[in-house]
Amino acid sequence: MTVEPAPELTPAAALARIVDAPAIVLLAAGTDGATVLAWDAAQAPVADWSALRDLELASPAPDGNAVASGWSRPVPGAHAVQLDYEFPAVAGRAWRLDRFVAWDAAGRATLHARDADGIARMRRDLARAPRDLPPPRLAARLTPAWDGAGHRRRVDHLRALIAAGDIYQANLTLPFGATLRPQPHADAALAVQLIGGSPAPYAAFLRGAGDALISHSPERFLRLDRGTLTSSPIKGTRRRVPGRETEVRAELMASAKERAELAMIVDLVRNDLGRVATIGTVSVDAAAEILDLPYVHHLVARVRCATAAGATEAIRAAFPAGSITGCPKLRAMQVIAQSEAGARGAYCGTFGWIARGACDLAVAIRSVVVSGERVRLHAGGGITADSDADAEWDEARAKASAMAAALGATL
């Protein structure tokens, strides 16, 4: 592996120089972790779990550089991956990361490649003149798949199933759709607006054949690092109110409904990790902590275990994430499939990177899919027996508000 100092460019400035590339992988951390930018990476479909395992085994093992939050830096030869919620019924995507620029939390940039030729190619590309990436704008209003009354009916239906003992919790998600005004590189422009305007620990811009995924996810799905497997589920939300942050945080932490919602998902995640854990090692390191984002506050937990499993085996044991399904998990997935408007697609799947015996993956929430001039995004929340339908409608719109703002819209 070859590592050299990189030109003094921000991630956004570097992206503007390579934005013509047909394949781009940007994994952007917030105030911690690493930000990684790769382009012209070889892309391949991921047909099933066996294919994902093949990618894992074809990647070198990293030397370990896990951080408390945000992305850890992959090793050259690792694979960036994106799996839809419906995987493996729908094939995923992978990009081989043979060379990339990496920024640490202090903003220091380095070039990483498998050989000196890869370093030289990156230097040439980053010396190009930058493209203009003006903020994207909508040609028509961002429209939800149903209105507030429709959301209330769905919440009431799920609460009735909970009262009947059919489920304990289900995550209901609301799709939004719109059309972009034509402009070059609208997907990259949206990534700059969303990730720059509302940073998150597990943000990403993944461009490949067919469409692009832009996300500012705050939630870690799985990190496997030197035999330690960690998941950090999020449940419980309050809209951020400027000047009232302390009061709203206290209200969220004191909410019996929100704490119970998180506790149920923590139990589900403990069970999922337990499928691959070394016996007796599953622990809850944090039962409920506050996570502050520019537009909302969340409750987040941290579940950890030791494991001898590989990355693919661990992912398969926990996929899709419990926080965006419900419990019992399989029955909740059946119920929400009947309540929502079609497939979730990239939303609520996962993305990140995988290498031999290691992975770093986010839950694909707070995500926008750009297909030509069409944009689609989702937002939602966990429904429990104590859910208030009006509050759930407001929560869904609050979660979508930063994505809407990046598009020049309001919710």
Active site residue 235: yes
Q: Which residue out of 56, 219, 258, 261 is catalytically annotated? A: 219
375/345 Cα distance (integer angstroms): 13
Q: What are phi and psi of 92, to 5 degrees?
A: -90, -170
Measured CA to CA, the distance from residue 82 to residue 95 in angstroms comes to 9
Tokens of 239: 């809209």
**4, 56, 86, 235: which is the annotated catalytic residue?**
235
End-to-end CA distance of the chain: 47
Phi (first) and psi of residue 245, to 5 degrees: -60, -45
- Pick from 333, 285, 281: which is nearest to 309 by CA? 281
Torsion of CA 4, 9, 15, 17, to 10 degrees: -90
Beta strands in 191-337 (DSSP E): 202-207, 212-217, 220-225, 228-231, 234-239, 283-292, 296-306, 326-327
Distance CA 245, CA 61 (A): 42
Is 373 assigned a catalytic role?
A: no
Measuring CA to CA, how many Å separate 58 from each of 52, 150, 170, 203, 243? 10, 47, 37, 25, 51
Quick count: other Cβ atoms within 10 Å of Cβ 46? 22
- Cβ 191 vs Cβ 25: under 8 Å: no
Bridge partners of 204, per DSSP, are 27, 215
Q: Which residue has the tokens 């027996």?
A: 385
CB contact at 8 A, 193 and 332: no
Residues labelled catalytic: 219, 235
